[in-house]
Structure 1
Amino acid sequence: MRLSVLIPTYNPDCGRLTQTLAGLKKQTLDTCNWELILIDNNSSNNFQARLDLAWHPSAKIVTENKQGLTYARLRGFNESTGDIIVMVDDDNILNNDYLEQVVSIFNQSPDLGAIGGKSLPWFETEPPAWLHEFHVNLALRDLGDNPILSVWDQKYPDAAPIGAGMGIRREALESYTEKIASGKSKISDRTSISLSSGGDNEIVLEILKLGWQVGYCPQLQLQHIIPAQRMEVAYLARLVRQTNKSWVQLLQSHGINPWRRISHLGVLPRKIKAWFIYKAWQSQPSYIKWQAACGLYEGLAGLPSD
């Protein structure tokens, strides 16, 4: 199986991106068996001039002018030629055997459409003691050392792959790429001005609904670089609020939303009540959790009327 590695990026930190590329350069899978595609999502910081991709015989940079992670990924899917696609963020450092493991897993499991593994933190500065409560929001994950397989059963699986390091069988992507290209998706994802998310989850749901399995495979491990800015309370509060709002929209669009719509008039009273329930004034984690609740209420108020 030939493999394609996609790195979507927008105004990347060149130091972190260089670490990501260094991790790829050390892969045990020979470069003749995989291609490297970096998708520049209309950056303005001229980072391309500082990159060295000469070490890879099948590396290229393409530009996607339409802003947003979803469009950058779609461009990468369309540009790639591999039977397997691995999505790598510009702050991920894959273990040396990551690509080789991906190929092996897909070869051994023909029913798997998408896989992921452990996303372990590489903190650039000392994290606050409470940060572990929000690891999932920072795309950090360790579900143990046993594999977990999931099939479609009218809900989103807890062990579904996350975007960082997700391996995808190309033929399992057909429904998703058609949906995005046709404009039928209502899910917003990261842009230069928004922390909304849902693109990873929509990929997983479309793959599951086609009848494929998805899996958590602990032998797949990467390090996710977490800079100081992403550990700040203001950033985390904004992240969880926008993530929860888009999460409601995602579940609704796939008919698996477990909550009822609320009126816009009911949002403020709920936020005030949640302020006291979470004791948002008491600690930084409490405040962040209150912001998460606010995002949920905003998402429920934005649902269409019956």
Structure 2
Amino acid sequence: MTQLVTRNLDISVAIPTYNGATRLPKFLDALFNQVDIEQLNWEIIIVDNNSSDNTSEVISNYQKIFSAKCSLKYFMEPQQGAAYARLRAVREARGDLIAFLDDDNLPAPDWLSSAYNFGLEYPKAGVWSGQIHGAFEVKPPENFAKIHAFLAIREDGEQPHLFEPDKLRLPPGAALVVRKKAWSDNVPQKPKLSGKLPGILVQGDDYEPLLHIHYAGWEIWYNPTMHTYHQIPHWRLEKDYLLKLARGCGLCVFQLRLINAKNWEKPIIFIRTVLGNLRRILKHFIKHNNHLNDDIILLFEMEFYLGSLLSPFYSFRCFLRNINQKT
């Protein structure tokens, strides 16, 4: 009796979403209009992370539109947090490659083909990301380029190059392609950093799996031919949001540096994190004290340094909280 073998797809496009009903139509239209993909076997996976709007209805309507082009699947992930949504997407994906896109990150028409072709050209790459341009609802503040990477904007030139994971120089989780094998073989099913939750902006959830993949020996690349456009509403440039973002980006630093660290290295990482950021804070204060109150970029940098300084203590508090929950 002949056994039917199911062939893997070439690529799965995975979209974690939360209350994305108003963003998804424009995003899905951009996916529908991808070019040079006639030979690709691909699918779209949307993971709904407990939306309270009509996200499921919007997706249902688009499933009919996509039926002749590719499979559009919908899954509900009840565990809150972007990290859990990504893990669910990987479990459900049938592609050898998984292309992660956020619902506010619009891909250029050739994004998918550029993503796939780069994987063929760089077989040692376990992860690759491209250029992410800001599409701003309002004009960003002066000198915004100094901090635009914190809002998942990457414009690093026209030449491919390796990222530097050991220095925490990594691409964001949006507009990112991974080999499913690299992820499945190395990324734990229980993340230490779950991602943004209501009222909590602690970051690092997109870096955590990449560090596991890097330490397993895979390369992480920048592919300049992949272009996406990050839709940034006005409220993400307001002072309150930016300062919470800066603090959240800092609070994950120590935990990220512990990934793959040996026990004897952890006290050294603790000391370097505390003393290094204390030095940065003092230097920043001495240099910019007269302008901190009226320059949001300088204030953002100071808040990030403070969060990084506090990150070992935040990590220890989370550790104690987990112990208390288990007992």
Q: Deviation digits for residues 57-98 of structure 1, max 9, x if unmatched? A: 200111001100011111111111001100000101111111
2:303 is the alignment partner of 1:288: no
| Corresponding residue number in structure 1 for 2:98 | 85
| Corresponding residue number in structure 2 for 1:244 | 250
- RMSD value over aligned CA atoms? 2.8
Deviates more, 1:91-100 or 1:43-52: 43-52
Q: Which of 216, 231, 246 matches 2:222? A: 216
CA distance in 2, matches of 1:146, 1:157: 20
| Corresponding residue number in structure 2 for 1:15 | 22
2:215 counterpart letter in structure 1: K
CA distance in 2, matches of 1:278, 1:188: 34
2:302 counterpart letter in structure 1: W
Deviation, 1:45, is: 1.5
| Corresponding residue number in structure 2 for 1:105 | 118
8 Å CA contact 1:151–1:211 kept in 2: the answer is no
Deviation, 1:277, is: 5.4
CA distance in 2, matches of 1:25, 1:163: 22
Deviation, 1:301, is: 3.1
Tell me which protein shows more helix as a share of its residues.
2
Q: Which of 19, 42, 48 matches 1:40? A: 48
Aligned in 2, Cα 1:176/1:277: closer, same or farther, shift over 3 Å? farther
2:181 is the alignment partner of 1:171: yes
CA distance in 2, matches of 1:189, 1:261: 26
2:207 is the alignment partner of 1:194: no
For these two proteins, the number of residue pairs brought into alignment is: 294
CA distance in 2, matches of 1:83, 1:130: 40
1:118 counterpart letter in structure 2: Q
TM-score, normalised with respect to structure 2? 0.81
| Corresponding residue number in structure 2 for 1:27 | 34
| Corresponding residue number in structure 1 for 2:232 | 226
Aligned in 2, Cα 1:21/1:31: closer, same or farther, shift over 3 Å? farther
Aligned in 2, Cα 1:246/1:19: closer, same or farther, shift over 3 Å? same
Larger radius of gyration: 2
Aligned in 2, Cα 1:55/1:263: closer, same or farther, shift over 3 Å? closer
8 Å CA contact 1:10–1:43 kept in 2: the answer is yes
CA distance in 1, matches of 2:176, 2:283: 38
| Corresponding residue number in structure 1 for 2:82 | 69
8 Å CA contact 1:242–1:295 kept in 2: the answer is yes
Aligned in 2, Cα 1:176/1:45: closer, same or farther, shift over 3 Å? farther
Aligned in 2, Cα 1:79/1:263: closer, same or farther, shift over 3 Å? closer
CA distance in 2, matches of 1:146, 1:229: 33
CA distance in 2, matches of 1:31, 1:18: 25
Superposition pairs for residues 118-137 of structure 1, below 5 Å? 118-137=131-150
Deviation, 1:278, is: 4.2
Deviation, 1:112, is: 1.1
Deviation, 1:213, is: 1.2
Q: Give ranges in structure 1 of 5+ residues lacking alignment.
A: none
Deviates more, 1:79-88 or 1:16-25: 16-25
Tell me the SS of whatever aligns to 1:163.
Answer: coil
Superposition pairs for residues 252-263 of structure 1, below 5 Å? 252-255=258-261, 259-261=269-271
| Corresponding residue number in structure 1 for 2:325 | none
Query: Percent identity between the aligned chains?
Result: 30
Deviates more, 1:185-194 or 1:83-92: 185-194
Tell me the SS of whatever aligns to 1:225.
Answer: strand
Q: Deviation digits for residues 30-71 of structure 1, max 9, x if unmatched? A: 496210111000111222223432222200111001100011
Deviation, 1:274, is: 6.4
Q: Give ranges in structure 2 of 5+ residues lacking alignment.
A: 1-8, 318-327
| Corresponding residue number in structure 1 for 2:171 | 161
Q: Deviation digits for residues 236-268 of structure 1, max 9, x if unmatched? A: 10001011111221112332887534999xx99
Aligned in 2, Cα 1:30/1:190: closer, same or farther, shift over 3 Å? farther
Deviation, 1:111, is: 1.0
Deviation, 1:120, is: 0.4
Deviation, 1:294, is: 1.7
TM-score, normalised with respect to structure 1? 0.86
Deviates more, 1:1-10 or 1:51-60: 51-60
